[in-house]
Amino acid sequence: MATTPLPEFLRAHRERLHPESTGRRRTPGLRREEVAARAGVSVTWYTWLEQGRGGVPSDDVLERLARALELDDTNREMLFLLAHARPPPLRPTRPATVTPTLQRVLDHLHAPALVKTPTFQIVAWNRAAVALFGDYAALPERDRNMLRRVFHPDTAALLPYGEDMHRTCLAAFRVDIARAGASEEAAALVDELMETSAEFRRLWAENELATHGVKTRRLFRPGLGELRLETSMFSVDDSDGLSLLVLSPADDVSARGIEQLVRELAG
């Protein structure tokens, strides 16, 4: 079935709204002029939009139309997809919420798994992740950041191929913060790492962009040697940009290593 065109989408949602006046009306929902007034656009231009000849609205106008039509997050996303063939910018200003359901998903995974924000802040984890990386709950909140940890000098001993980890993490970070939109948190993190890490400064200047994809990470743990883990990233619906990172053992040796770390943690 074909996707609903933008004019039909706008018209359908306008007609679903209940007018504030109680007088008799000959048409369902709000009038075009009422939606235009709510959105702060001209009646003529909004009418053209419903007729498929209004041009391409800007992000700001789409946000105002979403509020005027009282769209929920799913329909707001659909509005952007129909108008721009891409999702709307994320809303990083709202605090990240890890639902009990999401935490249960983490807890049922045997592989190390983390939940992160677009600025790589780690907001949830499972037991296997604690066994591999340490107890995030024991860290100050600012230190629960994947980028800070990757570029910290103390991490070098755990990363046999640190250059690759640095490069791919930073390239994915650039994409994530671009999708989320500018934020003071992201800018402050970049400024901090530019000041404290020469490696970060060097790689930031290269302006490399890449999505997370599936990567093989090699980590070194004393007593176990090298562990090979395949990273997979999954977006979390209705979460304002949260992503689930799963590090699956890439071979039997690494799987046994993770199992041993979890047993040691339990003991």
What are the pLDDT digits (tens) for 83-139?
988 888 766 555 678 999 999 999 999 999 999 999 999 999 999 999 999 999 999
Q: Are residues 139 and 42 in the same domain?
A: no
Considering the entire predicted model, what is its pTM?
0.73
Q: Give the per-residue pLDDT at 22.
A: 45
Q: For the residues 44-68, what does the mean pLDDT come to?
A: 90
Q: Which helix (H) or strand (E) element contains residue 226?
A: strand 225-235
Check residue 110 and give its pLDDT. Answer: 95
35 backbone dihedrals φ, ψ, rounded to 5°: -65, -40
| Domain count for the chain | 2
171 in a domain, yes or no?
yes
Q: What is the pLDDT of residue 1?
A: 39
| pLDDT exceeds 60 at position 23 | no
Domain end (from 33, 60, 84): 84
What is the DSSP code (8-state) at residue 155? G
* Phi, psi angles (nearest 5°) of residue 215: -120, 150
**184-196 mean pLDDT:** 94
Range of the structural domain that residue 144 is part of:
100-266
The pLDDT of residue 209 is 87
Q: Among candidates 11, 89, 94, which has minimal Cα distance to 46?
A: 11
pLDDT of residue 132: 94
Residue carrying the six token digits 């992503």: 243
Lowest mean pLDDT among 3-7, 8-12, 142-146: 3-7
Q: Over 70: is that where the pLDDT of 43 sits?
A: yes
Of 84, 112, 128, at which residue does a domain stop? 84
One domain, residues 180 and 207: yes
